[in-house]
Amino acid sequence: MNSRKYQKFPEVELENRKWPSNKMTKAPIWCSVDLRDGNQALEVPMNLDQKLEFFEYLTEIGFKTIEIGFPAASETDYNFCRHLIDNDLIPDDVAIQVLTQSRSHIIDKTMDAVYGAKNVVIHLYNSTSTLQRDVVFDFGKKECIDLAVEGAKMIKDYIDQDQSGTNWILEYSPESYSSTEPDFAVEICDAVLDVWQPSKENKAIINLPETVEYTMPNVYADMIEYFCTHTKWRDEIIVSLHTHNDRGTAVASSELGILAGADRVEGTLFGNGERTGNVDIITLAINMLMHGIDPGLDFSNINRCIDIYEECTGMKVPPRHPWAGKLVFTAFSGSHQDAINKGKKKMQERSSEVWAVPYLPIDPADVGRDYEPIIRINSQSGRGGVAYVLETYFGIILPKSFQRDFLNVIKQETDTNETELLPQQVFELFDDNYINVLAPYGLESFTEHAIGDKRSEVEAVISVNGKKENISGKGNGLLDAFVNGFSEYTGIAFSINMYSEHAMKSGTDSAAITYIEIRRKSDDKIFLGAGVSSSVTKSSVRAIISAFNRMIKE
């Protein structure tokens, strides 16, 4: 990797910074941008019904400001905005927020979109970074300020003439604030505020986006403190954060930004958004909860939150996602399990109301979850535990005959090595003993030809100790034809006794697994084999060969 093509991003000259000594004592004002910033980042944007469900859920869990779209840039956003207003679907204590650029026709359509709403945040923005001014807009600081001021005037003129009774809240974002010269950011924001003339009773919002993460979180905090201490309008504004996650530190940037003086945070559920996403408001909120701060948002049923998010966005919540992933309240380690159990017991003995359990920073019940210890496999384990591990971690749902047979393999391994097995080791044992049985026979290729309505003919190329051989057979379907051809070639008569297959969830790149029992006709003895492939037919043939190889190795 060529590090010489990059250079260190400039830091802020901030003397006597105060934020490192500050303490977080209350939650910020929250603003969800799921329906705008989050939605525009989806491969398939939400439809009207999904947006409505998501909007209703956001209000239900406590959001009082929700950015619902960019009405002038999208007819879908415009229609959704009007649908909410015309059907009186916005609670009286909730403000909808809409984004607009500093252009007259865009502002006109934006104002038309929100006409008649009770509470509206008009969010004006233009990009102010040195890079954007240079390569995108090709103008200087003056032209950048003029553009922002012109938009601010147009919005103010509209509001001054409005007779609808709407409670208007004004917001301005110097987009790419984190890569804008701090003194210029103050200058352009103050110029906008000079037009709007906010007051302590009617504050404007100045949103300072970390549109792209270029720096460590402490540098962003320095920039927030710089702005708060240099703007002449500090007492008349709400300072807002909008961090993205390019460097994976959006949560840290927001937390330090709050210490540096910010009053408000814009973000999304589970961090959905452009590139690596926005700040995850769920993580921020529960981080506050674990320090005894009421976040003002209700995530007490995190599973429902996940369901609505995944259903509406088509995105998935990773199993290790902070506070919400399906494995975050699960202990794999026996020592962790022991410590957790002892911690919970101590709390009961002491009748303590203060949560203090090793390895569990919060009580899983506070987000509607349970502590889930993982079954570890050792010589004392039963087939149910083995089956649980394979299904939970690798999507392998063992038939009963495989459970019984594989338990003998597990006991031999754990007895011989006097150790317990991790889930991955259990999977590898199953793989080696049932799936990857490649000798002496292996499958190279096969083709199936229909004979009439129900019968098939199979021509296959198999390998025998590395040498390729051609076989063929006929039967009632692919597997019967292959068994007949393979039996004839090997001189060992056998039949299929049991067949089962299903799609695999994970643990391999393949999509399906097939389980086969074959019965040797000479003594009716049963042998097991499994096959994995993206093709069910191929996985089935591989399973037959695996079972046959295990049979002749007996």
Which residues fall within 8 angstroms of residue 40, CB to CB, at 6 or more apart? 70, 274
Q: What is the DSSP string of 65-108?
A: EEEEE-TTT-HHHHHHHHHHHHTT-S-TT-EEEEEEES-HHHHH
Which of 526, 533, 532, 523 lies closest to 547 in space, CA to CA? 526
Q: Are residues 532 and 487 in the same domain?
A: yes
- Rounded to the nearest 5 degrees, what angle is found at the Cα of 339, between the Cα atoms of 338 and 343? 120
Q: Are residues 84 and 204 in the same domain?
A: yes
In a domain, 20, yes or no: no
Which residues fall within 8 angstroms of residue 533, CB to CB, at 6 or more apart? 510, 511, 512, 539, 542
Q: Are residues 417 and 346 in the same domain?
A: no
Structure tokens at 168: 């208007």
Q: What are φ and ψ of residue 502, in 5° steps?
A: -160, 165
Which residues fall within 8 angstroms of residue 265, CB to CB, at 6 or more apart? 28, 29, 30, 31, 240, 241, 242, 254, 257, 258, 279, 281, 284
In a domain, 129, yes or no: yes
Distance of CA 494 to the CA centre of its chain: 49
What is the distance between the alpha carbons of residues 310 and 320, in angstroms, rounded to a whole number? 16
Q: Are residues 182 and 270 in the same domain?
A: yes
AA identity, residue 527: F
Q: What is the pLDDT of residue 341?
A: 77
Q: Are residues 494 and 517 in the same domain?
A: yes
10-residue stretch averages of pLDDT, the chain, 554 residues long:
85 91 97 96 95 98 98 94 97 98 94 97 92 82 95 97 95 94 96 98 98 94 97 98 97 98 98 96 98 97 97 96 93 71 89 93 94 67 76 88 92 85 90 90 91 87 92 93 95 95 68 93 96 91 95 88
In a domain, 247, yes or no: no
What is the distance between the alpha carbons of residues 390 and 505, in angstroms, rounded to a whole number? 11
Name the DSSP letter for residue 380: T
Give me the number of domains the chain comprises.
4
In a domain, 294, yes or no: yes
What is the distance between the alpha carbons of residues 157 and 364, in angstroms, rounded to a whole number? 51
In a domain, 4, yes or no: no
In a domain, 254, yes or no: no
Q: Are residues 431 and 457 in the same domain?
A: no
Q: Are 398 and 390 in contact (CB under 8 A)?
A: yes
**CATH number (domain holding residue 110):** 3.20.20.70
Name the DSSP letter for residue 271: G
Q: What is the DSSP string of 214-230?
A: -S-HHHHHHHHHHHHHH
Q: Are residues 289 and 403 in the same domain?
A: no
Q: What is the pLDDT of residue 21?
A: 97
Which helix H or strand E contains 152, and what residues bound it?
helix 141-161
Q: What is the pLDDT of residue 357?
A: 92
Q: Name beta bridge partners: 499.
A: 516
Which residues fall within 8 angstroms of residue 421, CB to CB, at 6 or more apart? 376, 377, 378, 410, 413, 414, 429
Q: Are residues 91 and 55 in the same domain?
A: yes
Q: What is the pLDDT of residue 111?
A: 96
Range of the domain at 530: 441-552
**CATH number (domain holding residue 504):** 3.30.160.270
Q: Are residues 268 and 354 in the same domain?
A: no
What is the distance between the alpha carbons of residues 449 and 443, in angstroms, rounded to a whole number? 18
In a domain, 467, yes or no: yes
**CATH number (domain holding residue 407):** 1.10.1220
Encode burial over 178-203: b for 16+ CB neighbours within 10 A, e otherwise: bbbebebbbbbbbbbbebbebeeeeb
Q: Are residues 506 and 418 in the same domain?
A: no
Say which residue the tokens 């259903």 belong to. 311
Query: Starting at the edge strand that comes first in sequence, how are the strands of the sheet with 467-475 ordered?
Result: 441-451, 455-464, 467-475
Q: Are residues 39 and 128 in the same domain?
A: yes
Which residues fall within 8 angstroms of residue 124, CB to CB, at 6 or more apart? 100, 101, 102, 148, 151, 152, 155, 170, 171, 172, 173, 192
Give the ranges where 418-455 is alpha helix by DSSP (H). 423-430
In a domain, 253, yes or no: no
Q: Are residues 390 and 298 in the same domain?
A: no
Q: What is the pLDDT of residue 138?
A: 79
